[in-house]
Amino acid sequence: MRDTLHDQENTDERKQRTTMENRIMIPQYILKILERFHGAGYEAFVAGGAVRDALSGEPPQDFDLCTSALPSETAALFSDHKVIETGILHGTVTVMADGHPVEVTTYRSDGRYSDGRHPDQVRFVSSLREDLARRDFTVNAMAWSPETGVIDYFGGREDLRRGILRCVGEPETRFSEDGLRIMRALRFLSVKSYQPDPLTREAMFRCSGMLQKVAYERIDAELLRFLTTERTAALLDEYREIFAVLIPELAPMFDFDQKSPYHNRDVWHHTLAAVDFIRPDPQLRMTMLLHDVAKPVVYVEDENGRGHFKGHQQKGSETADRILRRMRFPNTFREEIVTLVREHDLKLYADRPLLRRCLNRLGETTLRKLLEVQMADASGKYEKYMTGTRNRIGEVRILLDRIVEEGDCVSLSSLAVDGGDLLRAGIPAGKTVGDILSWLLEAVMEDRIPNKKEQLLQAARERAGLGIKE
Ligand code: ATP
Ligand code: MG
């Protein structure tokens, strides 16, 4: 009988059970987890970002679940799965389902985050409503299950429809509990193109000091996402006072008149134009944000009233290094930015020896990024400088491609001799060997000696004062 009923079930209804609003398919592994919770008498829902994304027709990145079951109960219920006790004190366990990690969090309500990292006390609560009330924004505070459909206590769906970002509850209270929510708000404005509700917006400014209490590791993740959209530059400008709380070194750039014949914008707006121009890669965006950070510090005005910024590249790279260390960004991310800021004005033109030396010193990846940085930098100046730069960079790229394709020797590893060869040729062991190898590499990159073993050995002997041996 049940089967027959099932067969006769309206297909739309069946669709409703496995899709959210008939739009986004909920994966089977999620439905199975929800079913198991329900079968055991617990409540369980998809909550947060996945509901928001599904309702706006975007495929969710991951499906976070919330449940009335305690973490230990969840672990017991899924004892036949791999279960990782991700943050058992905060109520989260990760259930591995068909190879997908699914975070399952017990209904909870958070207190303050006075260490900027974790809520002081997490209280498990019994109702979905309380759990949704602790969430940051109305669009993130909805839940869904196949039985109930979308549950929306705070008007999230309407806000989503209108593209409004609004705190759940009193904005100032919510931002004061956890300053990270301000950075999350900026991330959502950037990535989702929402508009902030006026009260939420005002509270972001009023509570910006709270950002100083937040652990950088939490901020970084949101900031990197913030940096990668076409709204980044405009939002950096609109919320610049907030970003100056996060990175006080930015503030001197605001309204800083360059008094320069190259520039039609102040340092900050030149910076924003460059951020906007460069491809939305977080590292490149961060590079442009910081590339002129030391200009106000090194500024000198000459007798004609013209501004000069000698040494801002080196000084800026030191400042960038300090900022990125303080913010605990990974070393590899930081180091390349520091190099790009230091080298951003490097004179690059289509000259084979020059480009080989740059390849040797910077590596191909960084050199190619530097070309992007220079294009972006030029885009923030008077239009006439752009054409020249575009042509120059275009020629550099063509020659660079050729150098790479033809496998020019740009490092010791591709030199046709090594230390052993030099020793065998009679060069005395010790520092001389290394010095001569570097000298040979220079000579090869400058086309003074061909990268051929015999010729290199001969030049090495001469260099070492050994004369020409038979
Ligand atoms: P994404 O789709 O980009 O992952 P998300 O909204 O899912 O966005 P997460 O960081 O995965 O973001 O957080 C999951 C959910 O947890 C959010 O939707 C929100 O309901 C809640 N949340 C996350 N961080 C906070 C916070 N700092 N304060 C309050 N609620 C939060
Ligand atoms: Mg998420």
- pLDDT tens across 79-110, in order? 999 999 887 778 999 999 999 999 999 999 87
Kindly state the average pLDDT of the residues 251-272.
92
pTM assigned to the model: 0.91
Residue at 278: amino acid letter: I
Does 298 score more than 90 pLDDT? yes
CB of 136 sitting under 6 A from ligand 1: yes
Which residue has the least CA distance to atom 22 on ligand 1? 135
Q: How confident is the model at residue 188 (pLDDT cuts 50, 70, 90)?
A: very high
- Domains of the chain plus CATH, in order, are 2-161 (3.30.460.10), 215-406 (1.10.3210), 412-465 (1.10.246)
Residue at 31: amino acid letter: L
Which residue has the least CA distance to atom 27 on ligand 1? 181
Which residue has the least CA distance to atom 16 on ligand 1? 48
C-alpha span between 1 and 397 (Å, rounded): 72
Q: How confident is the model at residue 118 (pLDDT cuts 50, 70, 90)?
A: confident
pLDDT at 140: 98
Q: How confident is the model at residue 6 (pLDDT cuts 50, 70, 90)?
A: very low
Q: Which positions ≥6 away from 81 have C-beta within 8 Å? A: 95, 96, 97
pLDDT at 255: 95
Which residue has the least CA distance to atom 2 on ligand 1? 49
82 and 104 Cβ atoms separated by less than 8 Å: no
CB of 180 sitting under 6 A from ligand 1: yes
pLDDT at 22: 64
Does 119 score more than 90 pLDDT? no
C-alpha span between 341 and 323 (Å, rounded): 13
Q: Measured in angstroms, how far is the CA atom of residue 48 from the centroid of ligand 1?
A: 6
Which of 51, 131, 140, when mutated, tests ligand 1's pocket best, judged by the most ligand atoms within 8 Å of its CB? 140
pLDDT in tens, 392-426: 999 999 999 999 999 999 999 999 999 999 999 99
CB of 178 sitting under 6 A from ligand 1: yes
Q: Which positions ≥6 away from 67 have C-beta within 8 Å? A: 37, 42, 43, 44, 45, 74, 104, 105, 106, 107
Kindly state the average pLDDT of the residues 54-69.
93
Kindly state the average pLDDT of the residues 52-71.
93
Q: Measured in angstroms, how far is the CA atom of residue 351 from the centroid of ligand 2?
A: 49
Q: What percent of the chain has pLDDT over 90?
A: 81
Which of 46, 103, 113, 135, when mutated, tests ligand 1's pocket best, judged by the most ligand atoms within 8 Å of its CB? 135
Q: Count the neighbouring beta carbons within 10 Å of the beta carbon of residue 32.
A: 12
Nearest ligand to residue 60 Cα? 1
Does 3 score more than 80 pLDDT? no
CB of 344 sitting under 6 A from ligand 1: no
Which residue has the least CA distance to atom 28 on ligand 1? 136
Q: How confident is the model at residue 17 (pLDDT cuts 50, 70, 90)?
A: low
Q: How confident is the model at residue 114 (pLDDT cuts 50, 70, 90)?
A: confident
Does 329 score more than 90 pLDDT? yes
pLDDT at 82: 96
